[in-house]
Structure 1
Amino acid sequence: MLKVTLEQWRMFYSVVEYGGFNQASQGVYKSQSSIHNAVGKIEQSLGVKLFKIEGRKTVLTEAGELMLRRAKLLLEEARDVEAIALTLSRGVETSLKIAVDEVFPRALLYSALEQVSHLYPLVQVEVVESILSGSSELLADDDVEIAISPFHSGAGFNESLCHVVFVAVASPLHPLNTLERKLTLDDLKSHRQIVVRDSSHGAKESQANDGWLKADKRWTVSHFQTSIDMICKGLGFAWLPLNLIEEQLEGGRLQPLPLQENAKRYAQLYLTFKDGDRLGPAAKSFVEALRVQCQSLPEA
């Protein structure tokens, strides 16, 4: 028999989460005495002191810090169990939310979604397009069930899905494409680079400027299509995903830069989700269809 209930651990965690007993009572809609009693029973049952008073603040003891980490894992696991049970009770899910990095080949995405729609025509699908760590953030915040991202998820399932080739390009009339010689990276620094920003709200500056050469001139945009349009008009250069610019290359609106080195770059994309047991039939079908589609891609 367990000495401490899950609800008592939840009350303990709420004191830390909300910053005090009074704040916790308002946050979880429990009386302050109920929360004090719950914490007191934990301390009495386990023989540890969880909190101490410093001035006017209630702070964790060393034992409380350790218990907090364990309690957090326990509560997260309990929520996962309930979520899995809810998925099982519902059968086929009514909706599926997927975060997809904009560089992922659209033809593969559409084909996988078409297969899911054929099997589960009533499932509503929402695709959220993102840049860099945006997909990972959406997954971490439980805004989507599945993410296709260039970053590993901090926890859960991570699978190498495919790689994307980036090509350094500019307009055929851009000065960099009229020098009639091989270019160095130093040649690029005096020209405007078009950078696509990280769509994550918590992106660090280093992520937001991923791929930037420290050029003297820089324009930052939110979507790859904007970058493509600008570069086609001769407004700058960039490394762009090959799968997004094949039409512009064939039509002569974009031209690869004749770099001595680093003319191509490669980005690995990952299929990520938190817990496979929480995925419904439609989500699992999408994952399998995506894997099959990506098997047709050439190796890096």
Structure 2
Amino acid sequence: MLRITLEQWRMLRMVAEHGGFNQAAEQIHKSQSSIHTAVSKIEHSLGVKVFYVEGRKTRLTEAGQMLLRRANYLLDEAQKVESVGHTLAKGVETSLRIAVDEVFAKQILYQALDNTSEKFPLLRIELFESILSGAHELVENNQADIAISPMTLASGFSEQLCRVEFVAVSSPTHPLQQYNRPLTFEDLKSFRQIVIRDSAHNKRSDSGWLEANQRWTVSHLRTSIDMICEGLGFAWLPASAITEQLKNGLLKQLPLTHNATRSSALYLVFQDSDRLGVAAKAFIEQLRYLCRSINH
């Protein structure tokens, strides 16, 4: 039988996170004495000292740090078990939060959403459109249930869903199209590149060739397409997003000597399949089916 309860481990975590017994008591609305008792129970049961006082701060001992790492895993898993239980109790969920990188093919996304809504007409869907690390971050922070992202999760589920082809393009009237010869990266450096900003709040990243002397950074794929159609720069854009512009002559592929086209993987990511409801799993199956249909 376990001698230390989950609540006692939670008390230890609160003291460590907030730097003292008083601060922890204020955060979780418990008396300071009850938190002292919980921590003392851990120390007595295990025969180790977990905290020491340094100035006004209560700090973890080396043993306390090791125990907290294990306790964090235990507490996180307990929370996941509760979440799974709530999902099972509810049956079909009432809402679904989906984060999607803007380069993902819209026709596939819209079809998957429509097919899922037909099956679950009362389902409320929140769609977060993101760039680069944005979708990944939303799932990591539990702000989205599912993401379609160019990045995998360090922990959780990641499955390659499809590959996206990017094409180097400009307006047909752009000076780069007037060279009448294959272009090198040195040719590109003298002209403005349109770059889409990473929508993550924390660990942002850049993607694509970024060595142009001039660079405009925008927040949305649509803005980038409009600017390039207007002759304001060049970029590598997802082929699926510019089919009509290429067909109608608003955009033209750049005749690069190499890397005129590129491809990048997009991944289906989520934290824990057991925490996903029936509608979420149905949406995932739609995505897989539609992506397979396009790929084949």
What secondary structure sits across from 1:231 in the alignment? helix
Q: Would you say 1:290 and 2:287 are equivalent positions?
A: yes
Q: Percent identity between the aligned chains?
A: 59
In the other structure, the counterpart of 2:42 is 42
CA distance, structure 2, for counterparts of residue 149 and residue 101 of structure 1: 6
Question: 1:44-77, CA deviations, whole angstroms, 9 ceiling, x for partnerless residues?
Answer: 0111110112233211111101001001000000
Counterpart contact for 1:162–1:297, Cα < 8 Å? no
Q: Would you say 1:149 and 2:149 are equivalent positions?
A: yes
Counterpart contact for 1:189–1:213, Cα < 8 Å? no
Question: 1:201-228, CA deviations, whole angstroms, 9 ceiling, x for partnerless residues?
Answer: 0133xx1x32142211010000010000
Question: 1:74-109, CA deviations, whole angstroms, 9 ceiling, x for partnerless residues?
Answer: 000000000000001111100011000000001111
Of 283-292 and 12-21, the range deviating more from structure 2: 12-21
CA distance, structure 1, for counterparts of residue 110 and residue 210 of structure 2: 33
CA distance, structure 2, for counterparts of residue 203 and residue 190 of structure 1: 29
CA distance, structure 2, for counterparts of residue 4 and residue 216 of structure 1: 61
Question: 1:100-158, CA deviations, whole angstroms, 9 ceiling, x for partnerless residues?
Answer: 00000011111111111111110111111000000011001111100000000121111
Structure 1 residue corresponding to 2:263, chosen from 259, 263, 266: 266
Q: Would you say 1:201 and 2:198 are equivalent positions?
A: no
Counterpart contact for 1:92–1:281, Cα < 8 Å? yes
CA distance, structure 1, for counterparts of residue 187 and residue 158 of structure 2: 38
CA distance, structure 2, for counterparts of residue 297 and residue 268 of structure 1: 14
CA distance, structure 1, for counterparts of residue 22 and residue 51 of structure 2: 14
Deviation at 1:22, TM superposition (A): 1.1
Aligned length: 296
Question: 1:13-45, CA deviations, whole angstroms, 9 ceiling, x for partnerless residues?
Answer: 011112211111111111111111100100001
CA distance, structure 2, for counterparts of residue 273 and residue 298 of structure 1: 22
Q: Would you say 1:236 and 2:233 are equivalent positions?
A: yes
What is the TM-score of this pair, normalised by structure 2? 0.98
CA distance, structure 2, for counterparts of residue 124 and residue 110 of structure 1: 15
What is the TM-score of this pair, normalised by structure 1? 0.97
Q: Would you say 1:249 and 2:210 are equivalent positions?
A: no
CA distance, structure 1, for counterparts of residue 203 and residue 53 of structure 2: 36
Match for 2:33: what amino acid? S
Question: 1:220-270, CA deviations, whole angstroms, 9 ceiling, x for partnerless residues?
Answer: 000010000000000000000000000100000000000000001111000
How large is the RMSD of aligned CA atoms in angstroms?
Answer: 0.9
Deviation at 1:295, TM superposition (A): 0.3
Match for 1:253: what amino acid? L
CA distance, structure 1, for counterparts of residue 18 and residue 294 of structure 2: 49
1:1-300 matches, cutoff 5 A: 1-204=1-204, 207=205, 209-298=206-295
Match for 2:258: what amino acid? E
Structure 2 alignment gaps of length 5 or more: none
Match for 2:97: what amino acid? K
